[in-house]
Amino acid sequence: MMWKQAGSQETRCSALAQNSGADSQQASLQHGPPDLEKLFRQAIAKWFTLSGRRRQGSSPSPSTSSFSTLIPVALLLPGLWAVSGFYTIGEGERGVITRLGKYSHLVDPGLNWRPALIDRVTAVNVASVKELAATGSMLTADENVVRVEMNVQYRVVDPVRYLYSVVNAEDSLRQATDSALRGVIGRSTMDRVLTEGRTIVRSETQREIEQTMLPYQMGLAVLDVNFQAARPPEEVKAAFDDAIAARENREQYVREAEAYANEVQPRANGQAQRILEDARAYKARTVLEAEGESERFNKILPEYHAAPKVTKQRLYLETMEKILAQTPKVLTGQQGNTLSLLPLEQLLKWQDSAQTTSQNQVKRLKTDSAESILRNYSRQGGRDNE
């Protein structure tokens, strides 16, 4: 009777254990990977329960009892050790394996296995882009203080060097950025940093950061350097704004002067070129006229040798004809006769002034002038006849 009751109780315990094992496996499948420590404790408790029941049913020898206790433990521990060696490396990461503290190899993303307690895995993200901010008040080359803000974007390219070349790669990059930025700002003037030299300061800072990082082999790559803000201290901001406004006004005046020069200079060049062309034409005309006069004189010379008196008289008359043709005055050498002199010079002046007025005024002026002249002439002629 006692045997049946013990058998039935053992059957119920095994069923409960199977049900609990099935429930735990289903729960582990639903909620993720199994908890190895929990499974180990459940297996030890189950084994001690079963071994206690066996001792109650029979009285084995002490050596048999200890041997039966070590066999399940020896079988369970290797299995737990093997299961605990599985691990997962995420997408965009690399696993750095160290065996007994020494670097061994790299592993790719996915499910991997390692001997537990011997190898250690450190996952390093090599896909994401990280940012490092650098800011501070710095002294420029012209002994002005400017506050600069800069953002450095970098990425891990070598996980092994990133972990073991330096103690802290991010801190080393921060120190290199601060040193490079202060060096570039110290060689630049305040106007260059705040205005047109921002791009140059940015490129020089990135180049110096890369040169500083190169000897340390930190496993980082600087992707970009963003020069976010540069401004003077608040105590001198008003004065600096006035200086910026004055510089902008100066640049505006310079642009206006350049525009005026671009407008006037072509016109002046054209006028100068026209004067040069006129001078060349006058030179050529004068030379040709002189050559013509010389040629004409050479032709007259034989005639002069043949008849000097006649040639002199002819030359005199031709010369006087040219001179008197260009003057409005008429001279006479007769004695005892008084000739009326028409004001030809005045008529020519009136004619020149009449051309600058309208057509009706010109006609009226000519008519009045002609009538007054004829009237004066007739009166003067009548007096002379009397």
Query: 3-state SS of 246-314?
Result: HHHHHHHHHHHHHHHHHHHHHHHHHHHHHHHHHHHHHHHHHHHHHHHHHHHHHHHHHHHHHCHHHHHHH
Question: What is the reported pLDDT for 195?
Answer: 74
Q: Model confidence over 70-87: pLDDT tens digits? A: 666 677 777 788 888 888
In this structure, what is the dihedral angle of CA atoms 169, 171, 172, 176, given to the nearest 10 degrees? 130
Instruction: Find the helix packing angle between 2-31 and 36-57, rounded to 10°.
Output: 170
Q: Does 362 or 187 have the greater pLDDT score?
A: 187
The three-class DSSP label of residue 367 is helix
What's the mean pLDDT in 294-322?
Answer: 83
Q: 219-247: b or e for each residue (b if 16 or more CB lie within 10 Å)?
A: bbebeebebeebebeeeeeeebeeeeeee
Q: Model confidence over 133-176: pLDDT tens digits? A: 888 888 888 888 888 888 999 999 999 999 998 999 999 999 99
Q: Does 39 or 184 have the greater pLDDT score?
A: 184
Question: What is the reported pLDDT for 273?
Answer: 92
The answer, yes or no, to whether residue 320 has pLDDT greater than 90, is: no
Find residue 93's DSSP bridge partners.
125
Look up the pTM and report it. Answer: 0.48
User: Which of 113-117, 252-256, 350-354 holds the top average pLDDT?
Assistant: 252-256
